[in-house]
Structure 1
Amino acid sequence: MTQIISIKSVNVAQPQVLRRLKKGPIYSSINKSPVVSEEILLTYTNLQGDQQVDTKPKPDGRQLHGGNEKAVYVYPVEHYVFWRADLGLKLPIPSFGENLTTVGITEEEVHFGDKWQ
């Protein structure tokens, strides 16, 4: 049986000031907006129009954002039901910084190298 999945929303953002501290501003691209174009370029490092923040490797060599194999954050619409009930909020899509809001597939089923048609 073929699994039917779909993409409900493709979302991107540019860095914005999330908070201002004494040591300076904290930037983030978590507040994404849906893309209106039917086509968008996906590269090894990001979606067209999306920019990650905090891309410098940590002292132990880990890199939290950006880089190869970290181009797209996928989050299922099915989880919105839980969070809306738990938080008592409406939570518009996208609310979790995801690049792709999917239907019919969870993050446990999405893997690097997957090809969707």
Structure 2
Amino acid sequence: MSGADLVPLPGRRPDRSGIHKRSVPGRVAVGTLGLDGDVQVNRKHHGGEGQAVYAYAQEDAEFWIAEIGRALPPGMFGENLRTTGLDLTGAVLGERWRVGTALLEVTAPRIPCANFARFWDEPQLVRRFTAHGASGAYLRVLVTGEIGAGDVVEIEERPGHEVTVGLAFRAFTTQKYRIAELEPALPHLPDKDRSKVAGRIARRIAPIL
């Protein structure tokens, strides 16, 4: 998976997005900011080195195919990688994947935004996606290389903590009282999220004077 088409989005700004990924043949170079040909339109909220690659599971896509009754080919979630046989919700923040010749690290869940709903033309998608909780996983590129369709994802290392993508997603969305549970995984979060989360944790555990 590579390449992004800048698609027009109806309604309010922003009026374009790189959410629509398209499949490409052959092998694709992976750099520190993601796959060759990908586009990160708004790095304030998406992208950067901590969210260089986004993976979504075919098994989770099947839920949405049945839920909304339409085809959702690879790229429709804005993902660079459509995986099979991996529990992405159960992936641990900081675990490392060898894919092709690249080494990737799981960093965070994907939080749905209005652009996602506009792209699918499903007004309630953010609410429904959040309720379902299968967010997919953002990844950092630790070692650049090349990947291609059919490559095996090998989990080379997994931290000893139990902070999963699913737990982080809930702590960021519907169960914010759980934010302190993310502390063991702070080093693995995207840089732009780490200090914000650390501050939220500190405020919740600060002693009452």
Q: TM-score, normalised by structure 2?
A: 0.42
- Aligned identity (percent) is 36
Q: Aligned AA for 1:46?
A: G
Unpaired runs of 5+ residues, structure 2, are 101-209
Q: Choose 1 or 2 for highest CA Rg.
A: 2
1:116 equivalent among 90, 99, 107: 99
After the TM superposition, which residues 1-117 of structure 1 pair with which residues of structure 2 at under 5 Å, given as runs? Answer: 10-19=1-10, 21=12, 26-36=15-25, 38-56=26-44, 64-108=45-89, 109=91, 111-112=93-94, 113-117=96-100
Paired residues in the alignment total 98
Deviation of 1:106 after TM superposition, in Å, equals 2.8
User: Which structure has greater strand proportion?
Assistant: 2
CA–CA distance in 2 between the matches of 1:81 and 1:29? 23
8 Å CA contact 1:74, 1:100 repeated in 2: yes
User: Which structure has greater helix proportion?
Assistant: 2
Which runs of structure 1 show a deviation greater than 6 angstroms over 4 or more consecutive aligned residues?
none
Q: Aligned AA for 2:67?
A: D
Deviation of 1:93 after TM superposition, in Å, equals 2.5
Deviation of 1:20 after TM superposition, in Å, equals 5.3
